[in-house]
């Protein structure tokens, strides 16, 4: 038989009748990510030429797309390299042609992440995405829900240092001990979008960084029972917001069956209904994007990653509105 022999990617393009979940997701992200703004942010820090006169650096747009693929699919550097070789959809998204283009190896992928960490670009990516959403009418001003979640860290000492990550710590939740870090977020009570992020070791109390989660213009602040006493903290002295913090579960369980007791219970239910919105971004970060355990050592590296994940979470949660507005 003569003619051109089809490669795997050509075969997929010519025979696929139904869009896969991955293709649908990436086609949406193609539209909603503010690519040019992110490229403009990173470009001044990105090397123009390779060291020691080697091959020229990969295009910045390709490396940024690969980094975001890593976050969306929770891939290590070696797994990301393998996926680019094996998954045509990911290659196309990254703008790589298998025949004519080199595929970045795990060392190159690692170097790009180190670049973001070195220049603290994770936080700036988060700010750019917030500005992008704000410019499309998704402001986050009226009320804030504060909450925190635990992210486990490897407790194994089978590494070069022969010890656990010294910046991670143990904490007890319920009857179980956890080793790792905490991600604290401030979420807009109306849109459910993240407007602030703080990372700490797991043993830091939820109240400690709470003031950093407020933008200062909110009229209402919601929190679960772990935030009892937030209004009395000295750093909240200048805050005009009203605090609506959940009653401790033990106290709520013994509310009297009287008109006043039933009214208090209804108020607690209403508070819980608002607070539920904070679970959506945590669900996206931990389950949609798979960040349930740290792969990187140290809080600084994980803080950079969390800021990028928060930015991507906001884009994911707001994608329908963004797709509708173009």
Cα–Cα distance measured from residue 176 to residue 194, given in angstroms and rounded to the nearest whole number: 28
pLDDT of residue 172: 81
Mean pLDDT (whole number) for 19-39 = 96
Instruction: Name residues whose C-beta falls within 8 Å of residue 232's C-beta, 6 or more positions apart in sequence.
Output: none
Which of the four pLDDT bands, split at 50, 70 and 90, describes residue 53? low
Q: Tell me the whole-structure pTM to 2 decimals.
A: 0.89
Instruction: State the alpha helices, DSSP H only, in the chain.
Output: 8-15, 21-32, 35-42, 60-73, 77-86, 88-94, 106-118, 121-135, 249-253, 259-275, 279-283, 299-317, 319-325
- Encode burial over 72-108: b for 16+ CB neighbours within 10 A, e otherwise: bbbbebeebbebbeebbbbbbbbebeeeeeebbeeeb
- State the CB neighbour count (10 A cutoff) for residue 301: 18
So what's the pLDDT on residue 17? 62
Q: Is the pLDDT of residue 31 over 90?
A: yes
In this prediction, residue 5 carries a pLDDT of 42
2 versus 132: the higher-pLDDT residue is: 132
């Amino acid at each position: 038989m003569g003619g051109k022999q089809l490669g795997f990617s050509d075969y997929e393009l010519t025979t696929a009748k139904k869009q896969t979940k991955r293709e649908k997701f990436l086609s949406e992200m193609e539209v909603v990510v503010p690519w040019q703004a992110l490229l403009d942010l990173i470009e001044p820090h990105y090397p123009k030429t390779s060291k020691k006169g080697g091959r020229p650096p990969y295009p910045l747009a390709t490396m940024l797309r690969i980094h975001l693929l890593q976050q969306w699919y929770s891939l290590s550097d070696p797994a990301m390299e393998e996926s680019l070789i094996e998954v045509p959809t990911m290659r196309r998204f990254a703008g790589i042609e298998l025949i004519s283009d080199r595929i970045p190896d795990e060392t190159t992928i690692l170097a790009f992440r180190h670049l973001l960490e070195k220049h603290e670009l994770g936080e700036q990516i988060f700010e750019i995405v917030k500005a992008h959403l704000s410019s499309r009418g998704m402001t986050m001003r009226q009320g804030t829900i504060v909450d925190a979640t635990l992210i486990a860290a490897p407790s194994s000492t089978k590494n070069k240092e022969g010890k656990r990550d010294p910046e991670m710590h143990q904490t007890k939740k319920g009857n179980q001990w956890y080793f790792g870090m905490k991600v604290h977020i401030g979420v807009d009570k109306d849109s459910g979008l993240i407007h602030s992020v703080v990372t700490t070791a797991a043993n830091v109390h939820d109240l400690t960084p709470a003031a950093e989660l407020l933008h200062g213009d909110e009229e209402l602040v919601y929190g679960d029972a772990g935030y009892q006493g937030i209004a009395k903290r000295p750093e909240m002295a200048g805050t005009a917001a009203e605090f609506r913090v959940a009653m401790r579960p033990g106290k709520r369980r013994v509310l009297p069956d009287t008109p006043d007791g039933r009214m208090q219970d209804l108020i607690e239910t209403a508070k819980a209904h608002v607070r539920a919105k904070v679970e959506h971004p945590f669900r996206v970060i931990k389950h949609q994007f798979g960040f349930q355990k740290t792969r990187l050592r140290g809080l600084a590296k994980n803080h950079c990653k969390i800021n990028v994940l928060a930015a991507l979470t906001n884009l994911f949660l707001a994608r329908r509105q963004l797709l509708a507005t173009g």
